[in-house]
Chains A and B, each alone.
Chain A
């Protein structure tokens, strides 16, 4: 299976600031995604991180608020900009690797963000 690490694992931030979350995979992967999971809730897809091009955002999420980079096939960042308490959540990186089982999705350990 793909080994995924995220940094930071958790952070407490002030309103109005920004936080960049890093996702590193131990092998090249076809697709990378960013999810948000609020306490007790399901997984909400924020965007697909595209290597070498702009990310594809889901309805309700915009690039100005959640800029995403993916400079290569093993690394991506998600920035949560101009944070408010409503952004408090767990942010998860996820990958699908073509060399593994068809469509099998792996998740990173998550970044627990608290905005004061």
Chain B
């Protein structure tokens, strides 16, 4: 089955810096890669996703890049703010299967 590795497990940055979280996947048939943000005590919420037919997607301060050849994708957050502090999960799933495999999560801490 699919295996998703996520790094780092913890990331500490100063407000205004950029943050990058990286994930690798094992199944070359995977074609959908969502990212979820989970604030303390709350539910995971989708913040951005990318499909295998594109290499990059942006939404304001966040962006995701995908390298299908290397089977890795990354989340980029620019101009970080304290409210970006949360656990971020990457995931990968195959076409026809709605069940993603999640990474282990990255705890992002943004210091004011």
**A109 touches which one: B34, B43, B46, B104 (CB < 8 A)?**
B43
Check if B93 sits within 8 Å of A92, measured CB to CB. Answer: no
Stretch binding the partner chain, chosen from A16-24, A68-76, A80-88, A98-106 = A98-106
Q: DSSP majority for the A interface?
A: loop
For B45, the chain A residues whose CB sits under 8 A away are 107
Q: Do A43 and B102 contact each other (CB < 8 Å), given the known contacts A104-B49, A107-B45? A: yes
Any A CB within 8 A of the CB of B25: no
Check if A103 sits within 8 Å of B98, measured CB to CB. Answer: yes
Q: Do A102 and B32 contact each other (CB < 8 Å), given the known contacts A107-B44, A107-B45, A110-B43? A: yes
Nearest neighbor of B42 in chain A, beta-carbon distance: A109
Nearest neighbor of B51 in chain A, beta-carbon distance: A102
Q: Do A30 and B98 contact each other (CB < 8 Å), given the known contacts A42-B89, A42-B103, A104-B49? A: yes
For B105, the chain A residues whose CB sits under 8 A away are 41-42
Check if A31 sits within 8 Å of B98, measured CB to CB. Answer: yes
Bitwise, A22-53 to B at CB < 8 A (1) or not (0) is 00000000110100000001110100100000
The 10 A-B pairs at the shortest CB distance, nearest first, are namely A107-B43, A96-B98, A42-B104, A43-B102, A103-B32, A107-B44, A42-B102, A42-B105, A31-B98, A109-B43
8 intermolecular pairs with C-beta atoms under 8 Å apart: A41-B105, A42-B103, A101-B49, A103-B34, A103-B93, A103-B100, A105-B34, A109-B42
